[in-house]
């Protein structure tokens, strides 16, 4: 524990240069936005904390951590180690400590985020909510390119940390990279698409309001004075996360806009709230409490301002949090230095009014930046009072871990400056989905319905931008279940269903092109045969083609290629005969090769042999194949090659295999293997054009001797394999194209 890595990089000061930009700072930042580790911090509006725009790019060091599992990366090293995240932060800040050369707020340092869930390293707290995002709890980058613009004067300064890596100076390389990027033409706006009408929440309105009642019961019984309660929203998202960030900033500039390109996820934050600022020994925090929506006109605005300013509830709530923060920073500040310089200042934003206070202090000698973070994190304005009990109640009532929401975003310099915002109005984009949370402080006399509405007001900015920019009117999410077309979110299956407990069920995936299902009779024959073997002798008496058409129409997929799935789960063992659940769903299908600049699939051999007679059937007990596919992706492949216990090839995790050599097409012979519908059609076509079809045991070395290795399934048709375990195979696209022209309907 706490064994820190040896990094072969020295830092010897910072090179600075005044720069004249040929385009706006936002457009300049956009040139770097796709580089992993880029962090953009923009300040909008005319408040007194909106002073600088900052671009941090091309990291020479990255630090990520989940629990105590830390990963440190440089250009030459990738080190995994076990350590406390705050001690890790302290280690790197001390290792690369510098003296400032300018009056800029930051010249070199770490940029990124500290997730709310780092609280578990500061206090012993229960963990009963679900971490479904599985993202780093600390994610920080040390940039080699730092661009800082003073907003009022437009003066722009380039800062490059002068480093020695492997005994080589890097300044010339960094300057050349910067100049190359600056000479890039502005990219065409790739846009973004948010399925705004398909937004879901991890609470129903009724459950959220019931949770507020529980908090009020805790307050009445003396557990707590206030709790910040939130709900998390989710929607499908595609396109550019930076385009979303850009649109949000242009429509509603706020003091602490942040964009983080973390590689496997992106963060877009429009926060109005400073968590903690450090300038040498001077400390400042700016808690926000009290919110009202903006009016439709000047008169309504004035009415809302007056209502907020005169609200006894909001005054008490803000005063309570100010006292909490005074206590927090007082732990590390010089005695008597902590003071409230402004209290209950009303600030106007695009969609809401807020009450803000400013608390200041002087960091005590011997106390570090990390000591300050540990004393104050997470910010009291977004937990409650007292803080520890509030965090326990949040974990009890909120079903999902917060991750970035109410954590902190910004920079921690190598020269004793820091500026971190509270991560509210913040979205995380990951794997084609966007999640964001909104909440409010709950006190004894809170109106639960109004508190629920306040969370909607706070999410309005993001939702409105997505609504205005979205290409799609609604999320395609309807399915047929047990005789009815219903919204997908209304589908419910009991946890006692044997399909849920044991994967006891069946499925078929069917390609539907412009409302025409391909090889439907063959799919149904396979489905019914498995039904008779696994469930009972009597398959469902249904007109599946009509059901599929209903689902296609409900999801507006009539003119597209769709992937339709028929699924059956056995049902609960204690229900009457005939209890299986039947479900048909549909979604748009995009061929996997259309998203790549390659014409073939990369295969990776899965090291665990398949040993189950269920391989003869397409059951929903699919975990083995799912893990095989996950293994392949971790090894930078596309598909996993599945082997039998005797080391002969069987199939891949989603496809059947055909090897072609001369005029012979060979398919693997296995004791248990799913009879592929598309594989049968491809073999039928190959036979019709003169190929001999052979079924025989196939070993890995046979792949390298073949003239063509083909994968087939009902969605993608026939696709060539380019590599096996990173070794190049003979591969041409011509034969697969000819096959697809014939077999894809």
pLDDT tens digits, residue range 674-731? 889 999 999 999 999 999 999 999 999 999 999 999 999 999 999 999 999 999 999 8
pLDDT in tens, 214-255: 999 999 999 999 999 999 999 888 889 999 999 999 888 889
pLDDT top residue among 8 and 268: 268
What are the beta bridge partners of residue 235?
Answer: 434
Structure tokens at 239: 């396109």
Provide the pLDDT for residue 470: 46
Q: What percent of the chain has pLDDT over 70?
A: 96
Quote the CA–CA distance of 357 and 482 in Å, as a whole number.
Answer: 56
Q: Give the DSSP H or E segment for 695.
A: strand 692-696
CA 516 to chain centre: 35
* 168 alpha-carbon distance from chain centroid: 37
Does the pLDDT value for residue 471 go beyond 50? no
The mean pLDDT of 166-181, rounded to a whole number, is 94
Length of the chain, please? Answer: 745
Alpha-carbon distance of 216 to 222, in angstroms, equals 10
Helix, strand and coil content of the chain, in percent to the nearest 5, comes to: 30, 35, 35
Q: Which residue has the tokens 């904390």?
A: 49
Contact between residue 632 and residue 596 where contact means Cβ atoms under 8 Å apart: no
Question: How does pLDDT run across 366-421, given as a tens digit for each residue?
Answer: 999 999 999 999 998 899 999 999 999 999 999 999 999 999 999 999 999 999 99
- Helix spans in 221-311 (H): 241-251, 298-309
Please tell me the CATH code under which domain 596-743 is placed: 3.20.10.10
Q: Which two structure tokens, joined as six digits, stand for 85?
A: 């995240």
Task: Provide the 8-state DSSP code for 743.
Answer: H
The residues annotated as belonging to the active site are 273, 289
**pLDDT, tens only, 27-62:** 999 999 999 999 999 998 777 788 999 999 999 999
- Residue 185 zone, left/alpha/beta (φ > 0; ψ -120 to 50; rest): beta
472 confidence band (pLDDT: 50, 70, 90)? very low
- Bridge partners, residue 478, by sequence: 487
CATH architecture of structural domain 478-589:
2-Layer Sandwich (3.30)
Question: What is the domain partition of the chain in residue ranges?
Answer: 9-469, 478-589, 596-743
Query: What's the CATH number for 9-469?
Result: 3.60.120.10
* Pairwise CA distance, residues 117 & 133, whole Å: 12
- Nearest-5° angle of CA 544, CA 472, CA 196? 105
CB atoms near residue 467 (< 10 Å): 14
CB 272 within 8 A of CB 256: yes
Q: Are 340 and 330 in contact (CB under 8 A)?
A: no
Return d(Cα 738, Cα 740) in angstroms, integer: 6
Q: What is the 3-state secondary structure (H, E, C) of 48-91?
A: CCCCEEEEEEEEEEEEEEECCEEEEECCCCEEEEECCHHHHHHH
Is residue 722 a contact partner of residue 600, using CB atoms and an 8 Å limit? Answer: yes
Write the DSSP string, 373-421.
HHHHPSPGGGTEESHHHHHHHHHHH-SB--TTTTSEEEEEETTSEEEEE
The pTM for the full model equals: 0.72
For the stretch 100-129, pLDDT in tens is: 988 999 999 999 999 999 999 999 888 888
């Amino acid at each position: 524990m706490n064994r820190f890595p040896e990094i072969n990089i020295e830092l010897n000061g910072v090179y600075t240069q005044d720069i004249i930009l040929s385009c706006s700072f936002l457009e300049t930042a956009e040139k770097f936005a796709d580089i992993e580790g880029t962090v953009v911090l923009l300040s909008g509006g005319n408040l007194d904390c909106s002073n600088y725009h900052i671009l941090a790019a091309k990291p020479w060091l990255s630090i990520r951590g989940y629990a105590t599992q830390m990963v440190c990366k440089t250009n030459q090293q990738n080190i995994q180690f076990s350590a406390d995240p705050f001690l890790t932060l302290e280690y790197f800040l001390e290792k690369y400590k510098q003296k400032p050369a300018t009056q800029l707020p930051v010249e070199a340092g770490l940029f990124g985020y500290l997730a709310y869930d780092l609280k578990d390293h500061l206090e012993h707290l229960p963990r009963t909510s679900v971490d479904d995002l599985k993202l780093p709890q600390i994610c920080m980058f040390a940039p080699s390119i730092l661009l800082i613009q003073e907003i009022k004067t437009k003066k722009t300064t380039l800062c490059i940390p002068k480093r020695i890596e492997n005994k080589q100076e890097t300044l010339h390389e960094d300057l050349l990279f910067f100049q190359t990027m600056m000479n890039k033409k502005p990219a065409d706006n790739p846009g973004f698409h948010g399925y705004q009408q398909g937004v879901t929440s991890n609470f129903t309105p009724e459950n959220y309001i019931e949770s507020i009642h529980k908090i009020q019961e805790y307050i009445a019984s003396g557990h707590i004075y206030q709790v910040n309660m939130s709900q998390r929203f989710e929607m499908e998202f595609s396109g550019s996360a930076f385009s979303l960030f850009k649109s949000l900033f242009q429509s509603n500039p706020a003091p602490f806009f942040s964009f983080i390109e973390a590689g496997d996820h992106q963060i877009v934050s429009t926060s109005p709230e400073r968590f903690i600022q450090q300038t040498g020994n001077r400390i400042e925090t700016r808690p926000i409490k009290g919110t009202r929506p903006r009016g439709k006109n000047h008169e309504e605005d004035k009415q809302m301002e007056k209502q907020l300013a005169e609200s006894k509830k909001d005054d008490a709530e803000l005063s309570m949090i100010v006292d909490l923060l005074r206590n927090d920073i007082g732990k590390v500040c010089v005695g008597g230095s902590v003071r409230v310089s402004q209290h209950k200042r009303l600030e106007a934003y695009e969609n809401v009014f807020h009450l803000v206070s400013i608390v200041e202090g002087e960091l005590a000698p011997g106390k570090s930046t990390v000591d300050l973070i540990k004393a104050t994190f997470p910010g009291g304005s977004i937990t409650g009072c007292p803080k520890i009990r509030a965090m326990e109640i949040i974990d009890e009532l909120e079903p999902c871990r917060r991750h970035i929401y109410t954590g902190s975003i910004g920079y921690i310099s190598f020269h004793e400056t820091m500026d971190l915002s509270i991560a509210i109005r913040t979205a995380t984009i990951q794997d084609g989905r966007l999640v964001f949370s909104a909440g409010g402080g709950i006190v004894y006399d809170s109106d639960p319905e109004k508190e629920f509405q306040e969370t909607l007001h706070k999410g309005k900015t993001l939702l409105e931008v997505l609504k205005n920019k979205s290409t799609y009117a609604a999320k395609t999410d309807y399915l047929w279940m047990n005789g009815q077309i219903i919204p997908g979110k209304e589908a419910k299956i009991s946890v006692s269903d044997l399909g849920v407990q044991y994967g006891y069920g069946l499925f078929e995936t069917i390609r539907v092109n412009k409302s025409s299902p391909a090889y439907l009779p063959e799919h149904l024959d396979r489905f019914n045969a498995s039904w008779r073997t696994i469930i009972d002798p009597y398959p469902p008496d249904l007109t599946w083609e009509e059901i599929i058409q209903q689902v296609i129409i409900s999801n507006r997929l009539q003119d597209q290629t769709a992937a339709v799935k028929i699924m059956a789960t056995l049902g609960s063992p204690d229900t009457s005969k005939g209890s299986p659940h039947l479900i048909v769903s549909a979604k748009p299908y995009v061929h996997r090769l259309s998203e790549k600049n390659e014409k073939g699939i990369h295969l990776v051999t899965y090291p665990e042999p398949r040993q189950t007679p269920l391989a003869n059937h397409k059951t929903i007990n699919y975990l083995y194949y799912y893990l095989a596919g996950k293994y392949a992706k971790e090894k930078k492949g596309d598909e996993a090659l599945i082997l039998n216990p005797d080391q002969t090839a069987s199939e891949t995790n989603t496809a059947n295999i055909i090897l072609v050599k001369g005029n012979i097409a060979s398919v693997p012979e296995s004791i248990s293997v799913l009879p592929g519908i598309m594989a049968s059609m491809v073999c039928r076509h190959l036979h019709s054009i003169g190929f001999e079809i052979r079924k025989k045991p196939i070993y890995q070395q046979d792949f390298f001797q073949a003239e063509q290795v083909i994968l087939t399934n009902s969605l993608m048709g026939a696709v060539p394999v380019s590599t096996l375990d990173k070794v190049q195979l003979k591969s041409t696209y011509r034969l697969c194209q000819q096959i697809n022209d014939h077999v894809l309907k």
